[in-house]
């Protein structure tokens, strides 16, 4: 029975993709650490103890196996039709990433949380900001954020969501620290522009990438698709990290 359950769980992992994958999320956390101001860094370090933003960035995916956190299952994504806006679908019962980024930011700023709540909300916020920058976490109706778009990646069975979550990143064979080095940095003026924005705008940015995301030809993807899209992957991870830092600087500044 235990073996059967393991097989079933493995199959679920193959059909449902998460966030940026571990390396992508950890890269956003490491980038965020580099853009934290002193006061925010001190508070974050006190809250997380021996852990870093890079390490806790994957926590929200890890708790998917804990039924205690089933309530957060739909906090990773949202669905917005082509040409639509979040306001047009805000009554949608599923896909709450925008609403929850806004809510957790307000809760963390309030100073009214228990220590346990504050740590968990911080971890969730870091993760969800990463998620909303992955274009297929702001999905269009009908294909579950690209999970139902079956493709081949370098000859292996995959789906479009997983290609963006991890296939392109993993094929570079970099650790998350090496990935951050590969992504690079940006200038102070750009940091200010990126941080002077909100989750609804980040969702629109992800939607604007749909034409190139879905430009998959016959579905046999690999080097050429990565060549055409890796710059967008790098940009979205960098923007996510910078914006995580911006939120934390605002909350704890």
Buried b (16+ CB within 10 A) or exposed e, 161-199: bbbbbbbbbeeeebebeebbeebeebeeeebeebbeeeb
Q: How is 100-130 classified by DSSP, letter by letter?
A: HHHHHHHHHHHT-S-HHHHHHHHHHHHHHHH
> Does a structural domain hold residue 6?
no
> Does a structural domain hold residue 188?
yes
What residues form DSSP beta bridges with 220? 152
Q: Which two tokens stand for residue 6?
A: 């393991």
Residues of the chain short of pLDDT 50, as ranges, are 1-15
| Domain range for 34 | 19-252
Place of tokens 């916020």: 125
Tally of domains within the chain:
1
> Does a structural domain hold residue 154?
yes
> Does a structural domain hold residue 116?
yes
> Does a structural domain hold residue 10?
no
Q: How is 165-180 classified by DSSP, letter by letter?
A: IIIHHHTT---HHHHH
Place of tokens 């951050």: 180
What per-residue confidence (pLDDT) applies to 246? Answer: 98
How far apart CA 64 and CA 162 sit, in angstroms, is 17
Per the CB < 8 A criterion, the answer to whether 137 and 113 are in contact is no
Q: Dump pLDDT digits (tens) for 169-208.
A: 999 999 999 999 999 999 999 999 999 999 999 999 999 9
Angle between helical axes of 223-252 and 188-195 (0-180°, round to 10):
80
> Does a structural domain hold residue 220?
yes
> Does a structural domain hold residue 189?
yes
Question: CATH no. for residue 225?
Answer: 1.10.575.10
Number of residues assigned to the chain:
253
């Amino acid at each position: 029975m235990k073996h059967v359950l393991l097989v079933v769980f493995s199959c679920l992992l193959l059909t449902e993709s998460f966030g940026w994958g571990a390396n992508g999320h950890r890269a956003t956390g490491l980038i965020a650490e580099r853009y934290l101001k002193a006061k925010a860094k001190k508070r974050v370090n006190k809250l997380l103890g021996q852990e870093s933003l890079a390490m806790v960035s994957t926590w929200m995916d890890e708790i998917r196996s804990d039924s205690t956190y089933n309530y957060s299952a739909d906090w990773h994504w949202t669905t917005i039709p082509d040409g639509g806006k979040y306001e047009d679908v805000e009554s949608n019962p599923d896909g709450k990433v925008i609403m929850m980024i806004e809510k957790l930011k307000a809760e963390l700023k309030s100073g009214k949380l228990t220590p346990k709540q504050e740590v968990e909300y911080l971890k969730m916020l870091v993760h969800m900001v990463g998620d909303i920058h992955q274009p297929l976490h702001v999905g269009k109706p009908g294909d579950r954020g690209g999970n139902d778009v079956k493709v081949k990646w370098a000859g292996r069975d995959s789906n479009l969501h997983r290609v963006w979550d991890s296939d392109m990143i993993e094929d570079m064979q970099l650790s998350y620290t090496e990935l951050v080095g590969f992504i690079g940095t940006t200038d102070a003026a750009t940091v200010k522009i990126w941080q002077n924005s909100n989750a609804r705008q980040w969702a629109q940015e992800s939607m604007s990438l749909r034409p190139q995301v879905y430009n998959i030809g016959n579905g046999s993807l690999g080097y050429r698709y990565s060549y055409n899209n890796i710059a967008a992957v790098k940009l979205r991870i960098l923007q996510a990290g910078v914006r995580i830092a911006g939120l934390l600087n605002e909350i704890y500044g």
